[in-house]
Amino acid sequence: MITGPENALLDRLAAEGVAPWLTTDDRGNPSPEWAGSLSGEHSWFGFLLPDHTEPLPVAREACDAMRSVYDSSGGRDGYVSVPVDQRLTHDPDALVEAARTVHAEVCRPNLLVRIPATDAGIHAYRDCLAEGVGVHGTAILSLERYRRVLDAHIAGAERAMESGIRLLEITGITSFPVGLFDKEINRRLGALPGHTAAAHRNRAGTALARLAYRTRETHLEGWWWRVLRAAGARPPRLLWTGVRPWHVPELIGWNTAQALTRSTLESAAGRHPLRGDNMLNTHPQAHRVLENLRGLGVDPAAVIHELENDFSLLPQDPVSPDLPENPAG
C-alpha cells in the first residue's frame, strides 16, 4: 500500500510534467499484487514489464489495469512497455515481425513494444511507428545514438502520416539507463587513488540525462517536426531507468518519466524533496560534470562506448542497479 508521503510525491512528479512509471524490484514475473497496484492507485502513469516476464497474458492484464489512465489522458499516458526477444537484437526484420506479433496478440491501444536501440533496433523503431505500432526504444546512452533514434521517430511519423495513420494514436518513448551509467562511472572512480574522486560519484547519470533532454529539445526544432506536430505527432517522452532515490529530485523536466520501484519511491518520499524543474537549460553544468570526470582520468565517452558495444552490459529489464544508498558530495 502506498502511503500519504509517497502519494504526495507521485502527485508532485505529475505536476512537474514527470510521469511516474512503476517497475518491479525483482527479475522474475511481477508479484501477485502488481495488478491491484496499477488499477487501484491511479498515480502511476505507466508500467515496465521486466524482461523475464511471460509477456502476452501479463501484458494484456497490465494494459487493462492501466486503461483508465490511458483513456483519461487522451492517450498520452497509461502505457505498458513489453520486451521483445533479445535474441533478435541485431535483426531488424525479425524485430519488426516480433513487434507486429506482440501488438496483434495483445491487441490493446496502450501497449508499447520495447526494442533496444541497436543499429537494427533503430530501423525497427522507425518501421514500427510507420505501421502504427507503439514502441519503446531503450538501451540508449550516447547522444549520437539518441539523435539517430529521434531521426527514426521523425521518419516513422512521416511514413505513418503518408499512410493515413492518425499521428495522435501512435506513441514512441525512449529511455536512458541513468543508474547503470552512474554505476559504471562509480566503479572507475573507486579505482582511483585518494579521496578526491568521492565527490564526483553519482553525478554522471544526471548529467547525461540533462544532455539528452537538451538534445531532444534542439533536435526537434526543425520545420518538418513542426509540420508533424501540427498533424498530431507527440514528441517521444524521455524515460529514465535504473532510478535511485537521489535521482528523483535531480531529473525533473517536462515530458519526461521516471521508472520507480516501490523501495525507491519510499526512500525518495522520505528523504529527497523535489525542487522544481532542473532539466531546462542545465546542459552547461552537465558538460562541466563530465569534463571534470575526464580531468580525473575517467572518460564518460569511453564508458558509453564500452556499454553500447557490449549489449550484454545493457540489460533491458528496468531493475535499478546496485548503487550505494547515499550519493557523495
**Mean pLDDT of the chain, nearest integer:** 88
How much is the pLDDT for 41? 55
Only one residue has cell 552537465, namely 286
Q: Dig out the grid coordinates for 132 from the structure.
A: 502504427
pLDDT of residue 277 exceeding 60, the answer is yes
The H or E element containing residue 83 is strand 79-83
* Lowest mean pLDDT, pick from 23-27, 184-188, 237-241, 271-275: 23-27
The backbone torsions φ and ψ at residue 202, rounded to the nearest 5 degrees and listed phi first, read 65, 25
Mean local confidence (pLDDT), 175-202: 91
Is pLDDT of 26 > 70? Answer: no
pTM, 2 dp:
0.92
Q: How far is CA 52 from CA 84, 187, 264, in A?
A: 10, 27, 21
Give residue 310's pLDDT: 76
Is the pLDDT at 223 greater than 70? The verdict is yes
User: Counting Cβ atoms within 10 Å, is residue 163 exposed (0-12), middle (13-18) or buried (19+)?
Assistant: exposed
Could you tell me the three cell numbers for 292?
571534470
**pLDDT > 90 in the chain, percent:** 71
* Confidence category of residue 325, pLDDT binned at 50, 70, 90: low
Q: Could you report the per-residue pLDDT of 191-204, keeping only the tens digit for each?
A: 998 777 888 999 99
Q: Reply yes or no on whether the pLDDT at 217 is more than 90.
A: yes
Q: Do 106 and 92 meet the contact criterion of CB atoms below 8 Å apart?
A: no
- 169 vs 51: which has the higher pLDDT: 169
pLDDT of residue 327: 53
pLDDT at 146 over 70: yes
Categorize the per-residue pLDDT at 40 as very low, low, confident or very high, splitting at 50, 70 and 90.
low
- Cβ atoms of residues 179 and 321 within 8 Å: yes
What average pLDDT score do residues 296-300 get? 96
Of 251 and 27, the structure prediction assigns the larger pLDDT to 251
Of 182, 199, 145, 150, nearest to 311 by C-alpha is: 145
pLDDT of 322 higher than 80:
no
Mean pLDDT of the 171-180 span: 96
Is the pLDDT at 15 greater than 60, yes or no? yes
Q: Is the pLDDT score of 207 beyond 70?
A: yes
Pairing of strands 172-177, 18-22: unpaired
Residue 58: pLDDT band by 50, 70, 90 thresholds?
confident
- For 236-257, the pLDDT digits (tens) are 999 999 999 999 999 999 999 9
Listed residue (207, 198, 80) closest to 141, CA to CA: 207
pLDDT-wise least confident of 45-54, 213-222, 229-238: 45-54
| Superfamily, domain 4-312 | Aldolase class I (3.20.20.70)
